Structure 1
């Protein structure tokens, strides 16, 4: 039993008024467009199936699998320890477009969860579609939070229309993994066994040359076969390091505004590295990491979540670092997992209940950080415990230089935009397309989306 005083039973939310036929049809269109892109599982949570719940039970949806899923379950159990075994019904749905389609349909159908997870880049289209409730300063204050409690970059990015639309749990950036044995032979480790400073294109390329001499071939691997998100993250990181880089998309996805000269500069550099033999021309996701794990490459670029995979390899001595600044300024592609309040009528007690859940999750951010994600909650991010965490502390500054995908109804993590653009960027790395051809293909393939208003 919880020692917390009993909470007054919140009334279940009444059906929200004002759901238009256009919005209902739009949600269906969005789901129809999204579902062919990924597998779909049946929703198990209350609301969509209309199951009856104890009015004290908070309904929570998320999309976490693998190691993240295990850690989230531990955090959910922490909430139950505070508020009782029946205080939470948590449901995990299929990652990517299937999850967001179900969340959209449930919200339009007046049966959303009380709290849900969303990538920050996917929260913005939900907000623009009128599917989220804003989070007021009073909501934060009610659980002892302020805007200053969060990483400034993540918090500023979630601010939309002068409103708080989401509460960041983390930042998960594109990151550099390195094989210590290879890098030591290449003379790239300092006296503490950490990667030396590789700021600057000349310095970085000299490092690639040294690694290639050790491996007899590849120096750095980036997945690009049957994989679209990684080529996008690779490009978006380097592109945003160029001074004056414009958004790829503007007007909420209606305009392709990428700087053509800078696009060609970055993609040309990628092809140059392949031609030098430093960067792989064609590797799938698993093989790209195996090459570094086995010492056939010194560097491997991927999201920090692959820390769990690296740690599971017996005998692998690896390190992690923020991706170096190669051009004019530091920047790294990233997203954030956030907590959102799907739009519904809520009593004051229900809003407080939702915020108490979010606060309980933030208080357990150290569990989340062990999986590689950088805590957005500064109480954890600035704690001695986190700053002693290896190798997480060596790339924690990436959160301050995070660059998120541009807002678009078809954009964000795991989206149609990333699939489309990433596929063409992967073909550039493979040498199948010139940079000019890839840009023309991207413009052509995105035309249907840029010319289509948001379904919501």
Structure 2
């Protein structure tokens, strides 16, 4: 049951500053990464240069390297290194806390990156500029420039607040050598279609006969988000699935019967030796790369790692439809424009920067993410990109995390729920025990009014 705020309470601005800043204490912790003195404009009160775009992001690894190439291209287009000031922050709650505090102080970046599942709370707090057709038009864009599913993910109320860069779905990697020996490849060396529980389990059994052990690796040790992605994918493939949370995270609305069935299926496959019972993030990939398994489920961003493994022949496809309908857990990287006092010229400058990065979506797609810009997604160049084009359809069946002030990528919600699902896979908890623990651990957050929606 939802609690209410006392009648005498601090101002909305103080609630936002205190409540949203506190989100960083609820999940991943971390600080500024690779951020020099002028890059922290808006955090420490440093002045913002009106003639330069200030951009904040949370990309590391291969994504970070590709982004740097794209930023360098923007600077080249502008003819000046000073045309852009870019900062990279630690992934997760710390990043979003910094965006909140800078915006409340009226010194946010001109443009920032946000996961679609994390932008919702920022929009509800009134911290983002609405993305209107007129604003998009400043860069020669419109809502129809983007794939409908990812564009709609940016809607809050009657307005839109994100400009999507990509969709990054949970997908199936396969070791072509192992799957070839198991008789699962077609004449072109690609994974033959698999649909239905019987066909999926037959494929796992065939792989297991080749490997002499597990057929499928899915990380569940130190990777609560991975366990959540696996659950969310299979759960939404079942007829009758509902969002885990409702009323912006204040109600538990999950179909408990299907949740138990989903966790039971994960646990059963692990107990039968077809799915790895216990493996961490790096270990799950290593099993695929060394031929110890034929399948791995993971975010498509690990394509760069797989491509760097000498002698590995692999492919990627959307996760097979095991149950009633296709589905894949996903999120999207988007651009947001934090609310502050801006001139028309500054808005046009910000939109020009966003357009430059969108125009380089093919570079971004090389790192695995499915482009949100239709011009890139439908281009011959992208369609010829393998294996990226082979799993692009996963973006059409994307299932995002349920809205909530403590939900979204890298959130407290994923940590709580994913940890219990991982225990089921490890045979350390029954589905009912896991669900009971999830409900108990979520109770604090269910009963805490949103710091955004509270008056």
The answer to whether residue 411 in structure 2 is matched with residue 415 in structure 1 is yes
Structure 1 distance, partners of 2:272, 2:170, is 23
Match of residue 39, structure 1, among 30, 35, 41: 30
The answer to whether residue 118 in structure 2 is matched with residue 122 in structure 1 is yes
1:116-265 → structure 2 map (5 Å cutoff): 116-265=112-261
The answer to whether residue 327 in structure 2 is matched with residue 331 in structure 1 is yes
In the alignment, structure 2 segments of 5+ residues that lack a partner are 1-10
SS of the residue aligned with 1:253?
coil
Root-mean-square deviation (CA), in Å? 1.3
Match of residue 318, structure 1, among 314, 317, 329: 314
In the alignment, structure 1 segments of 5+ residues that lack a partner are 1-17
Structure 2 distance, partners of 1:28, 1:225, is 29
Cα contact 2:238–2:324 (8 A) shared by 1: yes
The CA deviation string for residues 309-364 of structure 1, in whole angstroms up to 9 with x for no partner, is 10111001111111011111111000000000111111111111111111111000
SS of the residue aligned with 2:81?
coil
1:9 corresponds in structure 2 to none
Following superposition, which runs of at least 4 residues in structure 1 exceed 4 angstroms of deviation? none
1:64 corresponds in structure 2 to 59
1:284 corresponds in structure 2 to 280
Cα contact 1:176–1:321 (8 A) shared by 2: yes
Cα contact 2:263–2:424 (8 A) shared by 1: yes
> How much does 1:147 deviate?
1.1
Alignment length (residue pairs): 437
> How much does 1:420 deviate?
0.7
SS of the residue aligned with 2:315?
strand
The answer to whether residue 269 in structure 2 is matched with residue 273 in structure 1 is yes
1:20 corresponds in structure 2 to 13
Match of residue 441, structure 2, among 421, 442, 445: 445
Cα contact 2:123–2:161 (8 A) shared by 1: yes
Structure 2 distance, partners of 1:254, 1:311, is 43
SS of the residue aligned with 1:20?
helix
2:6 corresponds in structure 1 to none
> How much does 1:112 deviate?
0.7
1:30 corresponds in structure 2 to 23
Cα contact 2:301–2:367 (8 A) shared by 1: yes
SS of the residue aligned with 2:20?
helix
SS of the residue aligned with 2:153?
helix
> How much does 1:447 deviate?
0.5
